[in-house]
Structure 1
Amino acid sequence: MGILDGKRILVAGVTLDSSIGFATAKVAQEQGATVLISNFGRALSITKRIAKRLPVEPPVLELDVTNAEHLAALPDAVREHVDGLDGVVHSIAYGNPETILGGKFLEGPWEDVAQAVHVSAYSLKSLATTCAPLMPRGSSVVGMTFDATVAWPGYDWMGVAKAALESTSRYLARDLGAQGIRCNLVSAGPLKTLAAKAIPGFEKFEEPWLERAPLGWDPTDLEPTGKTIVALLSDFFPSTTGEIIHVDGGYHAMGA
């Protein structure tokens, strides 16, 4: 028996097996869920190969969360495999590292900032509202953030996009609550993912964690984050919504 027995879960944004999305899909399957994963464009072929490394090879859907046609086609694509969804994971973010990261906050052009906000924040709303008609009461939407309450070295406009994501999640919690759908975020510490490699000076994130996280921190271990997401997808958080759960070894609670 697993905590997701009988659940149908869509994990949007799985590329490599070193991604949070992949770790979540793996734990979800181990806990009894039927899992669908998605990606788009050139990355889609990579995702289809990576899917074979999961305990059960899941269906791979083509989904660009900024593409209105893809979103409109998503419900039918889901119904080809399952008759509804009990959970949706938004593991999606993008910011151009050449223009809006790495100390380029004051120079970042609006076009690239707008893209980061669209992909990283607004798409949570797009994905949640597209999937909501497929989801019964008690369902769960979970997204990924990186603590947006402070300014981080080199994170720049992606930090702003994450702040928008966190606010978006709270408003979704408000507006989807009447349908019995929860919306929460997981704030993980720095992990060695594909997204992290795109952040100039990522090592500046890691060093303080290694020194100050009271539980310690392993930036290569994605399983704790995957387990937390799966817990939020389960029935064990029936009255939790609009929340941000930290999976960072306790770093966020420590002072200087």
Structure 2
Amino acid sequence: MKSTLTIILCLACLLQSRAADNKANLECIYRLTYQVDTLTKRSVNAMMVLRRNENCSLFYSQANFEKDSLQRDANGIEEQKAINDTIKARYGKVTVSYYVLKDFEKKQLDFMGTLLNSNKYTEPLPVFNWQMSEDKKTIGEHQCQKATCTFGGRAYEAWFAPDIPINDGPWKFYGLPGLILEVYDKQHHYEFQFLGMRPCAGKIEIPVVDYTKTTKKEYLRIKQMSIDDPESVLQLWEAKLGIKTTRPRAPKLRSYATMERVESMSK
């Protein structure tokens, strides 16, 4: 009953008034589970948030959002270190450090991720050619319907709730007649699971002001290189800064592919 009342309250907030362009009225909470090493099957979890109004939405890691928000106003290295220690004590290691900002009016998407420093690219809102299925299952209190698509080199299955009339979902996903409560690639390397929702009046904006503009293709290329050959990425960074170090060679610690596969960009 409590969760039903929460949903009614949240949807009432959506219907009662048109939100300011960057002011949210709702947050949806998800758990992301992804394999950081597909050879050993080692996985990590992160609590993710979809903050939205009827015009736009922001998807982010709760831990990383708090860290970036606090560090934006931090004074000096010591204060930044104290913030990092606080976030680590509260959430553990920050395992996800990207933002996805969807602007439904402009039909564009901003993505910001960390590759030694913050990198941002802009693209048109992706097109998901969803194929609807008659398959249904219950998630929490919601009777959900299945849809499938192929995107970024991966095949996905999604479950959406027609009784929650929100055309959105975690990460870049959207475009179904109901909120996407669960979505995963068929290899189960990346899985998003709905945990709940709550009213929100926060701003829909990325809390990072210093970043490097890049392209999606270049971001994915460097991101995958940082997984496959981290030493090469560090050498690129040192060359960019014009510095030389005597550090030990960076070892490869993981084996996995980015959620959007680099090879999908050549098609």
Q: TM (normalized to structure 1)? A: 0.30
Larger Rg: 2
Q: Which has the higher helix share?
A: 1
Q: TM (normalized to structure 2)? A: 0.29
